[in-house]
Structure 1
Amino acid sequence: MNDQNRIQIFGVPVDDIDEERFGETIRRLATDNGKHQIVFLDFRGLMRARGKGEYADMIRTASLVVPTSKSILAGARFLKLPVPHRHNPFAFVIKLLGAIEQIGGTLYLVGSRPDALQKAFGNVRDSFPGLRLVGRYAGYFRKDIERDVITAIKKAGPTILLAGDGLKGKALWLKRHERSFGFGISLFCDGCFKIFSGKRQRISNKSWERNSWWIPAVIIRPWRWFSFLRYILYGILLFIEKMRRRNL
């Protein structure tokens, strides 16, 4: 990503991808003979990526870090940084596949249960007839066949490798095996295959914009209300960061 379109919050990179540059950005990544991981970054991920470790390294080395949380945008605004565009992960994937379809690219799906993956495979094929699907492999596989999965992906050589649930480490699984894959784009989207297969309802644009999509999850798991403590810490860290920037 061009540095002028990337900001840093607590040293964590966040990219701004607007609608006008979306297709151009994706096509550039798909055709420059490089290996590119795109990652979605929510509030929890931002806080986790502040330190050191495997997850922080993945975020810092990703070609695109796509913000999905309004809290990240609020933090950028508080620090007087350019405020990036926030993206709905599933809508982002739809636009991504459309951009790859325009250049006659290829797609490989890995993850999810066999039945959900099969339905997702068929629905993606029907929705993007110009996108060539070169393979699929269900998730939740045993450790002893992981090498076979990686080999199958490498032989297929897809323009984009789209991963879903059922991979140990989720997005980290892609990072751990990046060297074994060929050139192209890789992206983990939790829940995308379930939406493609019809097993999960897509979040409406209205709910996404209002940021009310998470309410049902909190009702089911009320202990998540305690996560507000993270937001208190976030506010304190933002204040400290703002003071630090003023003293530079």
Structure 2
Amino acid sequence: MRGRGFLPAVGRVLSRIPGAIGPAHRNGTGVCRSCSADSSSGETRVEVASGTLKIKKERVIGIPLDNISPEELDDALAGLLKKEGVCPVVFLSLWELLKARRNAEFRGWVESASLVIPTSQGILRGARFLRKKVSHRYYPFDVVIRLLRILEEKGLSLYVLGGRLPYLQQAEKNLKQTFPGLKLVGRYPGYYPLQVEGDILLAMRKASPHCLLLGPGLKGRERWAQRKRESLPPSIVIYSPETFDIISGKRIRPSREAVEKGHEYVPELFRHPWRVFRGVVYLYYLLLLLVYRIRKQ
């Protein structure tokens, strides 16, 4: 449980760009001023110093996704800081894409998200098959690190909720060491008794963080934030247990080569071998793609 795997991983992310899977790019455009979503036009509009950034929204098997290029990523993230209320950033794998179709509560969270970022090659392939413009996927850790750098540069704040206490303490240490300008205004471990949840939410609102990073140990997992939305402070809200585990040193970030080849899931198969049976679900996904393609024609 050490941070030595986290620090080099951060260096690799920040030495490239904003986390897109594929060739590196670097963005030198202006600072975002405001952000608004227009579901009717299928766009997320972000005001930047050089004009208005329009992020194209597409739907793959009925679920919304944002097509964010590497050049747009920093502006898209920074733009959320000027948006009012709770601003969810959702990382969507293929499994979660299918989950959003069958689980109304989770779908509500995805539909209301400020940004929905695909993480799976399968989603990109499906989008191409449906002739949708979703051409970039991102590894969640890379996006979170870019956001933390933006927060640090602006002197803004973060609250971390989740994980066992020893890992949370290590995560706090690594964050302070790597992002000394970032204001860590609070933290609390996951797996807490339900009777203290009200106090945790109250502490969050009093801390008023600009970003809330959620990790393991929350009842309902990614649906926890949807259920507690009315009690959360206005902030960017990200649920990413794998990012928390990398920051805390519990997990090693997959190599760049593994991520680019789509093999980042392989270590998970060793930890959770039952996931191999998800292959049946992928066949269902292929069937859905065929149905949507036929409907479109």
Counterpart contact for 2:78–2:147, Cα < 8 Å: no
Gaps of 5+ in 2: 1-36, 38-42, 45-54
Shift in Å, 1:52:
4.9
Matches of 1:7 and 1:200 in 2, distance apart? 32
| Aligned length in residues | 246
Q: How does 1:233-248 map to 2 (within 5 A)?
A: 233-246=284-297
Under a length normalisation based on structure 1, what TM-score does the superposition of the two structures give? 0.94
Change (3 A) 1:222 1:198: closer
Counterpart contact for 1:26–1:100, Cα < 8 Å: no
Counterpart contact for 1:157–1:181, Cα < 8 Å: no
Residue aligning to 1:99: 150
Residue aligning to 1:144: 195
Counterpart contact for 2:119–2:139, Cα < 8 Å: yes
Change (3 A) 1:18 1:218: same
Structure whose residues are more often helix by fraction = 1
Shift in Å, 1:43:
0.7
Residue 183, structure 1, aligned to residue 237, structure 2: no
CA shift digits 1:175-217 (9 cap, x unpaired): 2111112211010111222211222111111111111222233
Residue aligning to 1:58: 109
Under a length normalisation based on structure 2, what TM-score does the superposition of the two structures give? 0.79
Change (3 A) 1:156 1:220: closer
Structure 1 vs Structure 2 CA RMSD: 1.5
Residue 26, structure 1, aligned to residue 85, structure 2: no
Gaps of 5+ in 1: none
Matches of 2:249 and 2:286 in 1, distance apart? 38
CA shift digits 1:121-145 (9 cap, x unpaired): 1111111112111111111100000
Matches of 1:99 and 1:91 in 2, distance apart? 13
